[in-house]
A and B are shown apart, each in its own frame.
Chain A
Amino acid sequence: MIWKILEVLIFPGALFILAMSLFYEWVDRKLYARLQNRVGPHLAGPFGIFQPIADLIKLLSKEDIVPAAADKFLFTFTPIIAPTLILFGCMFLPIAGPSGIISINGDLIILIALMSLFTVIIYLAGEGSNNRLASIGATRAALQLVGYEIPLTLALLCGAISARSLSLRGIVEAQTSYGSWIIAGPQIIGFAIFIVTAQAEMERTPFDIPEAEQEIVAGWSVEYGGRRLALFRLSRDLELFLLSGLGATVFLGGPSGPLIQGLEPFLHTIYFIAKSVVVLVIFTIFRAIFARLRIDQVLSFSWRYLMPLAILLVIITGVVA
């Protein structure tokens, strides 16, 4: 029992996931800066590795302002629910072994549902702050969801179909027993669709439309400051961890790899992190080389290109499997 609690709270549970997500933010920022020929974070810790933590602490210590017009309930609870939701999702990731802390049949579906729910939370957060710019941002977030959600789901499900399992554990074990990753073969298309749509899920360039700074200031998050903003930022980091972990699990074999007796949890963790950092690097490069799209362009792009591609992928997967 005590081991289970420690597992949930410390390794590979909440504390480890939080620390890793802050580390992923650092990787993202540093790499992004280097791609742009800048330094990136460099002050806190060696190579600025503690910068995300420093930012978080700084935000937490700021004054907490609730706008008079805001919906008090939504304004209080959405910042709490957002990171909780994603943290819960991260518990499904098989980090230190072939199965996550929670592993049930069909947890892939739960994860997909959680991610959509997160967008709904964002919508509520935007509308709840009762600001015109925020409500435009919230509307954009909801509109964008219509565009990317189906291709994202299809891409992940095709991975699941080729592994013949809907649970992450099953997917990982299938890849171990085949001896090859799912990405080898037609699922490379699925991986590409996943990368693009995950970018939209995380609201990063070129899909950072809901919080476009230059258009609608900060979109749905414009009214949030201090610790509420810190919580939203944390949930963004967690999402980065979740999605790069998910990509690594479904397409790159997750924590599987050559093992040595007695060191399994350690090696599993190493493999998982190495693979998900690869996905993260792809995310970062992707964000560095595009301009932000317009909301109508996103919708037409995803319905004109992503959807047919995803459906084609379903057909191919069905034929191959």
Chain B
Amino acid sequence: MKAPGYIFAEALRNLIKKRATVLYPYREVEKIHLPDGFRGKIEFDRPKCIGCQMCFRVCPAKAIEIIEDERGKRPIFLIYRCIYCGQCAEVCPTKAITLGKVFENVALRKEELEVR
């Protein structure tokens, strides 16, 4: 059955429907719902880390560097290289690493994108 303009009725129905889009970067940021388990910017819990360097070894993107601070060896995370795979969080024996819900990782300087 041919009917030119078949979606006419659907198009008109959309006029009264709520729009499907979100005015995201301008307004309505609160409308963005991230589910639990979202893999975003890394959050690091320094006291839990025991300096075993497992995260450094598994990271596929070489986004982790090991430095030494007053409490021994520890990782720093270079978010600009991170691919949010979650491998480091998975292997960490003390669960010092979690992937948080921050996904707007834009900065003017590299240092702002390092998690220490």
* A61 at the B interface (CB under 8 A): no
A38 to B19, CA, bound (A): 5
* A146 at the B interface (CB under 8 A): no
* A36 at the B interface (CB under 8 A): yes
Interface size bracket, B side:
10 to 19
CB within 8 Å for A289 and B11 given contacts A37-B17, A38-B21, A39-B21: yes
Are B7's CB and A289's CB within 8 A? yes
Are A43's CB and B26's CB within 8 A? yes
Query: Which chain A residues border B11 with CB–CB below 8 Å?
Result: 35-36, 285, 288-289
* A73 at the B interface (CB under 8 A): no
CB within 8 Å for A290 and B5 given contacts A35-B11, A39-B23, A43-B26: yes
CB within 8 Å for A38 and B20 given contacts A43-B26, A288-B11: yes
Are B23's CB and A36's CB within 8 A? no
Residue interface mask A14-45, B partner, CB < 8 A = 1 = 00000000000000000000111111001100
A290 to B4, CA, bound (A): 8
Query: Which chain B residues border A290 with CB–CB below 8 Å?
Result: 4-5
Chain B, residue nearest A31 (CB): B15
Residue interface mask A255-299, B partner, CB < 8 A = 1 = 000000000000000000000000000000100111000000000
Are A35's CB and B21's CB within 8 A? no
- Mostly helix, strand, loop or mixed at chain A's interface? loop
Interface size bracket, A side:
10 to 19
A38 to chain B: closest CB distance in Å?
Answer: 5
A54 to chain B: closest CB distance in Å?
Answer: 15
Most chain B CB inside 10 Å of its own CB: which residue of A35, A36, A38, A285: A35
A28 to chain B: closest CB distance in Å?
Answer: 14
A36 to B20, CA, bound (A): 9
Are B8's CB and A37's CB within 8 A? no
A8 to B51, CA, bound (A): 81
Are A37's CB and B7's CB within 8 A? no
Residue interface mask A33-66, B partner, CB < 8 A = 1 = 0111111001100000000000000000000000
Residue interface mask B5-41, A partner, CB < 8 A = 1 = 1111001101101011101001000000000000000
A38 to B15, CA, bound (A): 10
Are A289's CB and B5's CB within 8 A? yes
Query: Which chain B residues border A289 with CB–CB below 8 Å?
Result: 5-8, 11
Query: Which chain B residues border A42 with CB–CB below 8 Å?
Result: 23, 26
A42 to B28, CA, bound (A): 13
A37 to B21, CA, bound (A): 8
Of the residues A37, A43, A285, A288, contact of B19 by C-beta under 8 Å: A37
B4 to chain A: closest CB distance in Å?
Answer: 7
CB within 8 Å for A35 and B19 given contacts A289-B8, A290-B4, A290-B5: no
A204 to chain B: closest CB distance in Å?
Answer: 15
Query: Which chain B residues border A34 with CB–CB below 8 Å?
Result: 14-15, 19
Chain A, residue nearest B18 (CB): A37
Q: What are 28 A-B interface contacts by the 8 Å CB criterion?
A: A34-B14, A34-B15, A34-B19, A35-B11, A35-B12, A35-B14, A35-B15, A36-B11, A37-B14, A37-B17, A37-B19, A37-B21, A38-B19, A38-B20, A38-B21, A39-B19, A39-B21, A39-B23, A42-B23, A42-B26, A43-B26, A285-B11, A285-B12, A288-B11, A289-B6, A289-B8, A289-B11, A290-B5
Query: Hey, which bits of chain B sit against chain A, CB under 8 A?
Result: 4-8, 11-12, 14-15, 17, 19-21, 23, 26
Given A35-B14, A38-B19, output 8 extra A-B contacts at Cβ < 8 Å: A34-B15, A34-B19, A35-B15, A37-B17, A39-B21, A39-B23, A285-B8, A288-B11
Q: Which 10 A-B pairs have the closest CB atoms?
A: A35-B11, A289-B5, A37-B14, A37-B20, A289-B8, A289-B7, A34-B15, A288-B11, A38-B21, A39-B19
